[in-house]
Chains A and B, each alone.
Chain A
Amino acid sequence: MKTFYKFFYLFMLLGFQVTAQQTPFEKGNEAYKKGNYQDAINYYEKALSGEKHSAQLYYNLGNAYYKTNKIAPSIYYYEKALKLEPGDEDIKNNLALANQMKLDKIEKVPDSFSYKFKKSIALIFNFNTWAIMTVIWSFIGLLAFSLFIFSKKTNVKRVGFAWMFISLFMLLFSWYFAGIAQKIENEKYGIIFVPETEILTEPNLSSEKVAQLHEGTKVKLIDEADNWFYIKLPDGKKAWIPKEDIKIIE
Chain B
Amino acid sequence: MKKFLLFISLILGISSGYSQITFKARVSQRNITTDDRVRISFIAQGNSRNIYNGRLEAPSFEGFQAMGPFVSQDFLYINGSSFYKKSYTFTLKPEKAGDFTIEPAVFVLEDKEYKTRPIRIHVAKGEKPLAPPIVSQGTKQNPAESQNGTKDIFLVAQVTKNKPYINEAVGLTYKLYIPKSYGVQNYRELSQPQYKGFWAQDIDRNISGPFQGEINGKAYEYYILKKKLLFPQEKGKLTINPLTLSIDIQVPVIRQMGYFQIRDFENKRIKLSSGPKTLYVRPLPEEGKPLDFSGAVGQFDFFVNPDRNKVPSGEAVNIEVGVKGTGNLKLFNLPELKAPEGIEVYDPTHTEDVRPTFAGNKGTVTDKYILIPNHSGKYIIPSMRFTYFNPQTNSYETKTTEDIILFATGNNAYQSTSNLPANTGGGKDFRYIKEKQHLIEKSHKTFFKSRIFYILLGIPFLLALLFYLYKKIISNRIIDESKIQLNKRKSLAQAYLKEAASHTQNKDLFYSSLEKAIHNFLKAKLQIDTSELTKENIRKLLNEKKVDNKDIETVISILNNCEMARYTPFGAGDIRHDLSQTEKVINSINKQI
Chain A interfacial positions (CB closer than 8 Å to B): 25, 29, 32, 50-57, 59-60, 63-64, 66, 69, 71, 84, 90, 93-94, 96-97, 99-105, 127-128, 130-132, 134-135, 138-139, 141-142, 145-146, 149-150, 171, 178-179, 182, 195, 214-215
Contacts and interface: CB of A to CB of B under 8 A. Distances in A.
Nearest to A131: B448
B457 A134 contact: yes
A131 B379 contact: no
Contact of B436 (A56, A93, A97, A134): A56
Contact of A100 (B379, B434, B464): B379
Contacts of B338: 103, 214
B460 A51 contact: no
Given A66-B430, A103-B339, 11 more contacts: A51-B443, A56-B433, A63-B433, A84-B440, A100-B377, A103-B340, A135-B453, A145-B467, A150-B467, A171-B457, A182-B449
Interface string B367-392: 00000000101111010000000000
B2 interface: no
Given A93-B428, A97-B377, A128-B448, A149 B437 contact: no
Nearest to B373: A100
Contact of B437 (A56, A135, A141, A214): A56
Interface of B: 338-343, 375, 377-380, 382, 403, 405, 428-444, 446-449, 453, 456-457, 459-461, 463-464, 467-468, 471
B435 A29 contact: yes
A69 B403 contact: yes
Nearest to B339: A103
Most buried by B among A102, A135, A214: A135
B437 A25 contact: yes
Contacts of B432: 63
Contact of B341 (A60, A103, A182): A103
Nearest to B342: A100
Given A94-B430, A100-B341, A149-B471, A52 B440 contact: yes
11 contacts: A52-B440, A52-B441, A54-B438, A55-B437, A56-B436, A66-B430, A100-B375, A100-B378, A138-B459, A145-B467, A179-B448
Contact of A53 (B378, B405, B442, B453): B442
A128 B446 contact: yes
A111 B382 CA distance: 32
Contacts of B443: 51
A66 B438 CA distance: 22
A54 B456 contact: no
Given A55-B438, A102-B340, A131-B447, A146 B467 contact: yes
A222 B222 CA distance: 76
A93 B431 CA distance: 7
Contacts of B463: 142
A178 B457 CA distance: 13
A132 B450 CA distance: 11
A237 B96 CA distance: 91
A138 to B, nearest CB: 4
Contact of B448 (A99, A130, A214): A130
Most buried by A among B380, B435, B436, B463: B380
A96 B433 contact: no
Contacts, number: 138
A190 B436 CA distance: 27
Closest 6 CB pairs of A and B: A100-B342, A142-B460, A131-B448, A56-B437, A54-B437, A56-B434
Contacts of A214: 338, 382
Contacts of B459: 138-139, 142
Contacts of A139: 459-460
Given A29-B435, A135-B457, A51 B464 contact: no
A90 B434 contact: yes
A57 B437 contact: yes
B464 A54 contact: no
Contact of B431 (A94, A103, A149): A94
Most buried by B among A100, A127, A141, A215: A100
A54 B461 CA distance: 35
Nearest to A32: B433
Nearest to B345: A105
Contacts of B428: 93, 96-97
A139 to B, nearest CB: 5
A84 B444 CA distance: 10
A138 B457 CA distance: 6
Nearest to A85: B438
Given A69-B405, A138-B460, A127 B441 contact: no
Contacts of B471: 149-150
Given A53-B439, A214-B338, A101 B460 contact: no
A150 B459 CA distance: 19
A74 to B, nearest CB: 10
Nearest to A142: B460
A100 B457 contact: no
Contacts of B449: 131, 182
A55 B380 CA distance: 26
A138 B461 contact: yes
Most buried by A among B429, B435, B447: B447
Contacts of A195: 382
A139 B456 CA distance: 9
Contacts of B440: 52-54, 84
Contacts of B437: 25, 54-57
Contacts of B342: 99-101
Nearest to A89: B431
Contacts of A142: 459-461, 463-464, 467
Nearest to A84: B440
A208 B506 CA distance: 123
A145 B464 contact: yes
A167 B243 CA distance: 100
B410 to A, nearest CB: 11
Most buried by A among B380, B431, B433, B440: B433
